[in-house]
Copies of this chain bind each other. A is one copy, B any other.
């Protein structure tokens, strides 16, 4: 074959990672008629044109994050990636030249660089203080190199590969196996960095290292990373595929939670996209039954009505599917995942696409009017590599979204919050998870890093809407213990909107104590809004103190119980998070329902809890022992039972009314729950009766030890017999 070989084999051509030759042709053909793409392109062009005008800097590395050299190298790789794309799409050599000039400065500097001077990392980089950031650089720069590959001469390519890319890839892999050979989000970035440059250089041996790890490396078993996690575990799995196997469940849930999943998805997906284009035979998107695409779906389902991710484990409030990594994720999932038209509605909200084949597909889909709403339903997402380490249960009904957490620990970002929950209404937190104690990138707050209150407060059990025994956190607040266990899903049943059930058990948080929490979303025909029924059963071999906090957000409007407010708040306890709570007021229950009505953002909510005689009700506030005002001053209500072996905490949670500050009208300011009673409880069954103010009476019964869907049950309560099939029933008494 004497023709030029530039068109003979698409898979060996450039660009071929994120953009493809065909993709570029299609993009050029559609420019000007694909609004969301055109808009993103125009914004990038403005940005890069200004940068080309200003010139760039490739400084000698010396700073931690926040410092100039760190920020500059970080910016540089983003600029190169964008400029490479602009070169391909706009066919203007000034963009290619910008990338080339910068790469040659890196190629000149890199061979001279020692290990980065800042010593804090277990895996120090060269451009940055940690290999993680060096890997980020290479993931983006590989894309730029791919885009300008054909613009460079063969000699130029040889220089770049010999002086920069190959030693760079070796450094973050062979020279840092404690970084590269793990199952950890750091290693994912390392694997993907090596894999991306391998694809760009067409270096198959390097690609094998990326996919399957470095062979024959022995690491010291006592090594720990900066978060205190062990580096070398028994039967350590390694490489990209191993990283796909472990932290993702078959449902696509990432064990650290959605805040970190959002961060982790980018390298996973960008490499998958490149592999799909360049090595389609690997069928990476079909790996583990399509776990990557399931991951995108899981992540979108782990967001509230306006796209904010639920707060599970370490997570900062306000992170959402508007984050740039989700723009990639949605576009890739659409393009490579069967063109699900519901994803287009998310892309429309994001109002931006990736400037590549995937983004083009999305832009065309939107232009052609294929968009359908992304409907989030109730869903259970299993945790654990095999999906058998608990789950997150999400109940959705009306505007309410309840998040029930009964997962595994979540690696080093996990919280001691077994069976905890949070409640959202229309995208707004109503009963909160505190999230993390950190102000990311706000330098004044501990350099923007995790604050010590993250450990002393945010991770502790009492900081969550879950049961705390004897003022100790679950698993003694110890990572080594927590990591060995997970809760168990018991029921997740959401087939009818009138009653949806998420029930789970936790038997390891406190040895000798069994916790079983059932959360039910009930939509009665005679009430406007659905409400939540919460049943927390505890059984122990010993007498304990049990605290159940309820982190409502808003202003107290009324309580059904009398309380005495202390002159000055008292610190609630001495450790395990209790040292951060002020006791503001206390009440001793008389055995009647304890109802709290509060107002948040012009909506009225009520919590109606069953109490036993002499239960204590503590109205508390976050903020004690917080010397730098790192914590948010927010309230909680705690129900405390002392010297108790077995107990059932039962409560109803409602959104029932609105306040309009313009018309000054309060509508349905009073709770619609008249009475909640524990009607029956033994080891086999628990029954709760709920009476509403419209005269309706409902009886909810759950079988505590048999979740068979076909088992037939009979239970007699107060001489009335009830019959049903399956693990629970909701009976309309009136």
Q: Which residues of A contact B (CB under 8 A)?
A: 316-320, 322-324, 439-445, 448, 555-558, 565, 567-571, 582, 585, 597, 599, 602, 619, 621, 624-629, 632-633, 635, 659, 661-666, 669-670
Contacts and interface: CB of A to CB of B under 8 A. Distances in A.
Q: Which 6 A-B pairs have the closest CB atoms?
A: A318-B661, A556-B629, A444-B558, A440-B664, A322-B662, A442-B666
A569 B324 CA distance: 43
A319 B621 contact: no
Nearest to A623: B584
Contact of A629 (B555, B602, B661): B555
A662 B323 contact: yes
A669 B443 contact: yes
Contacts of A324: 663
B662 A441 contact: no
A442 B316 contact: no
Interface-centre pick from A624, A629, A665 (highest chain B CB count, 10 A): A629
A367 B190 CA distance: 62
A665 B320 contact: no
Contacts of A322: 662
Given A568-B568, A568-B569, A570-B568, A557 B662 contact: no
Given A442-B557, A626-B565, A633 B661 contact: no
A323 B444 contact: no
B568 A632 contact: no
Contact of A669 (B316, B323, B444, B585): B444
- Per DSSP, chain A at the interface is loop
Given A317-B661, A444-B558, A621-B633, 10 more contacts: A318-B662, A320-B662, A324-B663, A442-B557, A442-B599, A444-B557, A565-B627, A568-B568, A568-B569, A568-B582
A619 B662 CA distance: 33
Contacts of A318: 602, 661-662
A354 B342 CA distance: 43
B629 A323 contact: no
A585 B670 CA distance: 38
Contacts of A602: 318
A628 B596 CA distance: 12
A32 to B, nearest CB: 29
20 contacts: A316-B661, A316-B664, A318-B602, A318-B661, A318-B662, A319-B662, A441-B665, A442-B557, A445-B557, A555-B629, A556-B628, A565-B626, A567-B625, A568-B568, A568-B570, A569-B569, A569-B582, A585-B629, A633-B633, A633-B635
A557 B441 contact: no
Contacts of A626: 565
Interface-centre pick from A444, A445, A448, A635 (highest chain B CB count, 10 A): A444
Contacts of A663: 323-324
B568 A661 contact: no
A316 B664 CA distance: 9
Contacts of A567: 571, 624-625
A235 to B, nearest CB: 35
A570 B613 CA distance: 33
A17 to B, nearest CB: 24
Given A319-B661, A661-B318, A441 B555 contact: no
A320 B633 CA distance: 28
Contacts of A666: 441-443, 448
Nearest to A308: B661
Given A624-B568, A661-B319, A555 B442 contact: no
Contacts of A670: 444
Nearest to A602: B318
Contacts of A669: 442-444
A443 to B, nearest CB: 7
A324 B663 CA distance: 8
Contacts of A661: 316-320
A608 to B, nearest CB: 15
A625 B568 CA distance: 9
Nearest to A635: B633
A322 B633 CA distance: 32
Nearest to A570: B568
A627 B659 CA distance: 23
Contacts of A582: 568-569
A665 B442 CA distance: 8
A92 B347 CA distance: 50
A359 to B, nearest CB: 19
A442 to B, nearest CB: 5
B319 A439 contact: no
A633 B631 CA distance: 14
A321 B510 CA distance: 57
Interface-centre pick from A570, A621, A664 (highest chain B CB count, 10 A): A664
Contacts of A621: 633
Contacts of A568: 568-571, 582, 624
A663 B441 CA distance: 10
Contacts of A440: 664
Contacts of A635: 633
A409 to B, nearest CB: 24
Nearest to A629: B556
B632 A555 contact: yes
A695 B261 CA distance: 44
Contacts of A565: 626-627, 629
Nearest to A557: B444
A327 to B, nearest CB: 11
A310 to B, nearest CB: 14
A324 B661 CA distance: 12
A323 B663 CA distance: 6
A670 B556 CA distance: 35
A627 B664 CA distance: 25
Contacts of A445: 557-558
Contacts of A662: 318-320, 322-323
Contacts of A443: 666, 669
Nearest to A567: B571
A585 B627 CA distance: 9
Nearest to A317: B661
A18 to B, nearest CB: 21
A10 B659 CA distance: 44
Nearest to A555: B632
B323 A557 contact: no
Given A556-B629, A571-B568, A632-B555, A442 B659 contact: yes
A136 to B, nearest CB: 14
A669 B443 CA distance: 8
Contacts of A323: 662-663
Contacts of A555: 629, 632
